[in-house]
C-alpha cells in the first residue's frame, strides 16, 4: 500500500493544485462507508460527486469487473465490442432513443452532444443552426467548449478566448428562453436539476415548456444528465419525471459506478448524421467500462431499486425540511430532487464551515454554488444511514452560526 505523506512532501506538491485537496485519504470502501488507513469510518454522502451510485465495493460491480479484467481490457472501436453493443441497446431503449456514443467523462460527452446537434442541422440543410442555448448557473464541464457553455466568470478566468456559439438565459424562465430561440438555435442544453449550480430542480412545468418550445422552434433538446442520470433522482433519467422526450441525453458520473465512462444517447436521425470518422474516442466504451456499466444498469433496473431511491429521498427531504424549520436562522431552505439534495444555508453559516463540521463528525458532503450543502449519498443508502446523516447534520447545525 502507498503511504500517505504530509502536505509539505515533494510528492504532494507534484499534483497540480487544480483542486483544494482535503488532507484525508481513504484506503477502502464498503457500501455507504469509507475507511482511512487508521481505521476511521466516514459516511459517504458525496460519492465522489455522484459517481459511486451503488456505494463502494458493490458485489455485482466487483464481479463484472473481475470477470472482465481476466478476459480482456481494451480492444478498440475499430472492432465490435459486444458489451458496448448490449449497453447501447439498453440505454437507448430506456431513454426512448436509438443510438449511443461512448466516451469517458461528462465534459467529453457534452462536447459530443454539441457536435451532434450542429452536424444534424448541417445535414438537414440548416447550417446556420449552430447556437447552443444554455442556462445561467449551469455546469457542463471544464473543456474549452464546455466552459463556454458554463456561464461562470470564475471558471473562465485567464482561459479566453471562449469558443463561440453559446448563449445563456436564466434557468427556470420560459419567457426568456422563448425570446432567445431563433433560426440560429441548434439546441437547448439543460440539466433537469442543476447540480454544481446549487441542487436546483427545474420549477414545475419548466421542462415541459422547454420541450414544447424546442419542438415549435425546430431545435434539439439536450438533457445533461451527467449528475442526475442512472437513478439519482428516483427515476432512471430525471427527464422522465417531467414526462418529456429529449433528443439527446448525456450521461457520465454514475454510469460506471466509479469506472470512468460517459455516453450520449441520441435519436436515430442525429446518430445517422454522424458517419464514420465524424467523431471518436480511443477509450470510449471499452470492454472494462461497459461490462461494469451493464452490471450497474442491471441493479438499477431491478424492482424495487428506484422505488427504494424514492423512499430514501422522501425520508431525506422530510428530514431536511424539519432541520430547516428548526434552524431558520441557519437554513434558508431545502433544495434538489431525489438523492441530489441540498440545504441552502444563511449567510451566517458558510457551507465550507458546515462541511468542515460534518467531516469532523465523519460525514462527507459536497458544497455547491449559492452556499448550498449538497448531499449525494449512494442510491443504495439505507433508512438507518439516512437517519445517521440527518442526526449528525442536526448536531452540526446545533453548533450555531460560524463564529468570527
Ligand X SMILES: *Cc1c(COP(=O)(O)O)cnc(C)c1O
| Residues of span 164-203 touching ligand X by CB under 6 A | 191, 195-196
Please select the residue that binds ligand X; options are 56, 58, 140, 267, rule is CB under 6 A: 140
**Residue listed under C-alpha cell 480511443:** 282
Of the pair 121, 253, the CB lying nearest ligand X is at 253
Q: Which is nearer to ligand X, 61 or 252 (CB)?
A: 252
Residue 111 near ligand X by CB under 6 A = no
Q: Which residues of 100-112 are buried (b: 16+ CB within 10 A; e: fewer)?
A: bbbbbbbbbbbbb
For residue 391, the minimal CB distance to ligand X (Å) is 28
**For residues 141 and 147, what is the distance between their CA atoms, to the nearest angstrom?**
6
Phi-psi region of 181 (alpha: psi -120 to 50; beta: other; left: phi over 0): beta
CA 203 to chain centre: 19
Beta-carbon-side half-sphere exposure of residue 201 (alpha carbons within 13 Å): 20
Between residues 112 and 392, which has the closer beta carbon with respect to ligand X?
112
Nearer to ligand X, 46 or 349 (CB): 46
State in angstroms the smallest separation of the CB of 273 from ligand X.
Answer: 23
Q: What are the angstrom distances between the C-alpha of 11 and each of 1, 2, 36, 312?
A: 15, 12, 19, 41
Cβ 191 to ligand X, closest distance in Å? Answer: 5
**CB of 7 vs ligand X, minimal distance in Å:** 24
**Site for ligand X contains 209 (CB under 6 A):** no
Does residue 336 touch ligand X according to CB under 6 A? Answer: no
Of positions 65, 177, 226, 293, contacts ligand X by CB under 6 A: 226
Q: How far is the CB of 192 from ligand X (least distance, A)?
A: 9
Q: Whose Cβ is closer to ligand X: residue 190's or residue 358's?
A: 190
Which one of residues 32, 84, 227, 371 is an interface residue with ligand X (CB under 6 A)?
227
User: CB of residue 252 vs ligand X: minimum separation in angstroms?
Assistant: 5
CB closer to ligand X out of 106 and 284: 106
**Cβ 150 to ligand X shortest distance, Å:** 8
Does 139 sit near ligand X (CB under 6 A)?
A: yes
Residue-by-residue DSSP string for 205-239: THHHHHHHHHHHTT-EEEEE-TTTTTTTTSSSSGG
CB of 105 to ligand X, least distance (A): 3
Query: Degrees (nearest 5) of the Cα angle 27, 83, 195?
Result: 55
Please state whether the peptide bond connecting residue 304 to the residue before it is cis, i.e. omega within 30 degrees of 0: yes
- Residue 158: Cβ within 10 Å count: 4
H/E element, 201: strand 200-201
What is the CB-side half-sphere exposure of residue 252 using CA atoms within 13 A? Answer: 21
Q: Is the Cβ of residue 35 or residue 283 nearer to ligand X in the bound state?
A: 283
Q: How many residues bind ligand X (CB under 6 A)?
A: 15
Site residues for ligand X, 43-102, by CB under 6 A, read none
Does the footprint of ligand X cover residue 252 (CB under 6 A)? yes
CB 102 within 8 A of CB 84: yes
The Cα 64–Cα 291 span in angstroms is 6
Place of cell 447550417: 127
342 with 375: CB under 8 angstroms? yes
**By CB under 6 A, residue 107 contacts ligand X:** yes
Residue of this chain nearest to ligand X (CB atom): 106
> Looking at beta carbons only, is 34 or 135 nearer to ligand X?
135
- Please enumerate in sequence order all residues whose Cβ is within 8 A of that of 168, keeping only pairs 6 or more positions apart, or say none: 133, 134, 135, 136, 138, 151
Q: How far is the CB of 227 from ligand X (least distance, A)?
A: 3
Among 32, 84, 105, 344, binds ligand X (CB under 6 A): 105
Contact with ligand X (CB under 6 A): which of 55, 137, 141, 378? 141
Buried b (16+ CB within 10 A) or exposed e, 308-327: bbbebbebbbebbeebbeeb
- Is 315 within 8 Å of 383 (Cβ atoms)? yes
Any contact of residue 224 with ligand X (CB under 6 A)?
A: yes
CB 139, min distance to ligand X, A: 5
365 contacts 358 by C-beta, under 8 angstroms: yes
State yes or no: residue 342 binds ligand X (CB under 6 A): no
Q: Which stretch binds ligand X (CB under 6 A): 106-114, 154-162, 299-307, 325-333?
A: 106-114
233 near ligand X (CB under 6 A):
no
Q: Which residues bind ligand X (CB under 6 A)?
A: 105-107, 110, 139-141, 191, 195-196, 224, 226-227, 252-253
Amino acid at each position: 500500500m502507498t503511504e500517505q505523506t504530509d502536505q509539505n512532501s515533494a510528492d504532494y506538491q507534484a499534483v497540480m493544485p487544480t483542486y483544494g485537496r482535503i488532507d484525508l485519504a481513504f484506503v477502502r470502501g464498503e457500501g455507504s462507508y469509507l475507511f482511512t488507513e487508521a481505521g476511521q469510518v466516514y459516511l459517504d454522502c458525496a460519492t465522489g460527486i455522484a459517481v459511486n451510485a451503488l456505494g463502494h465495493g458493490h458485489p455485482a460491480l466487483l464481479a463484472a469487473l473481475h470477470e472482465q479484467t481476466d478476459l480482456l481490457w481494451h480492444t478498440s472501436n475499430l472492432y465490435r465490442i459486444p458489451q458496448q453493443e448490449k449497453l447501447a441497446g439498453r440505454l437507448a431503449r430506456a431513454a426512448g432513443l436509438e443510438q449511443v456514443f461512448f466516451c469517458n467523462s461528462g465534459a467529453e460527452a457534452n462536447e459530443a452532444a454539441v457536435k451532434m446537434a450542429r452536424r444534424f442541422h448541417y445535414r438537414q440543410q440548416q447550417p446556420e443552426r449552430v447556437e447552443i442555448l444554455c442556462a445561467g448557473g449551469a455546469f457542463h464541464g471544464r473543456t474549452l467548449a464546455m466552459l463556454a457553455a458554463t456561464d461562470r466568470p470564475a471558471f473562465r478566468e485567464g482561459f479566453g478566448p471562449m469558443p463561440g456559439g453559446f448563449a445563456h438565459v436564466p434557468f427556470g424562465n420560459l419567457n426568456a428562453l422563448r425570446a432567445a430561440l431563433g433560426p440560429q438555435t441548434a439546441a437547448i442544453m439543460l440539466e433537469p436539476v442543476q447540480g454544481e449550480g446549487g441542487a436546483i430542480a427545474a420549477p414545475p412545468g419548466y421542462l415541459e415548456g422547454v420541450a414544447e418550445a424546442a419542438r415549435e422552434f425546430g431545435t434539439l433538446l439536450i438533457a445533461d444528465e451527467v449528475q442526475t442520470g442512472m437513478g439519482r433522482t428516483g427515476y432512471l433519467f430525471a427527464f422522465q419525471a417531467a414526462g418529456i422526450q429529449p433528443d439527446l441525453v448525456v450521461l457520465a458520473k454514475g454510469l460506471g459506478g466509479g469506472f470512468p465512462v460517459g455516453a450520449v444517447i441520441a435519436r436515430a436521425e442525429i446518430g445517422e448524421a454522424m458517419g464514420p470518422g465524424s467523431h471518436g474516442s480511443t477509450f470510449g466504451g471499452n470492454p472494462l467500462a461497459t461490462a461494469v456499466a451493464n452490471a450497474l444498469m442491471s441493479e438499477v433496473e431491478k424492482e424495487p431499486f428506484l422505488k427504494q431511491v424514492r423512499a430514501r429521498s422522501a425520508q431525506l427531504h422530510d428530514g431536511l425540511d424539519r432541520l430547516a424549520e428548526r434552524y431558520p436562522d441557519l437554513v434558508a431552505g431545502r433544495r434538489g430532487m431525489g438523492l441530489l439534495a441540498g440545504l441552502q444555508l444563511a449567510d451566517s453559516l458558510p457551507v465550507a464551515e458546515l462541511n468542515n463540521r460534518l467531516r469532523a463528525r465523519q460525514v462527507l458532503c459536497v458544497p455547491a454554488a449559492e452556499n448550498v450543502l449538497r448531499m449525494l449519498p449512494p442510491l443504495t443508502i439505507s433508512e438507518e444511514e439516512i437517519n445517521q446523516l440527518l442526526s449528525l447534520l442536526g448536531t452540526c447545525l446545533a453548533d450555531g452560526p460560524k463564529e468570527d
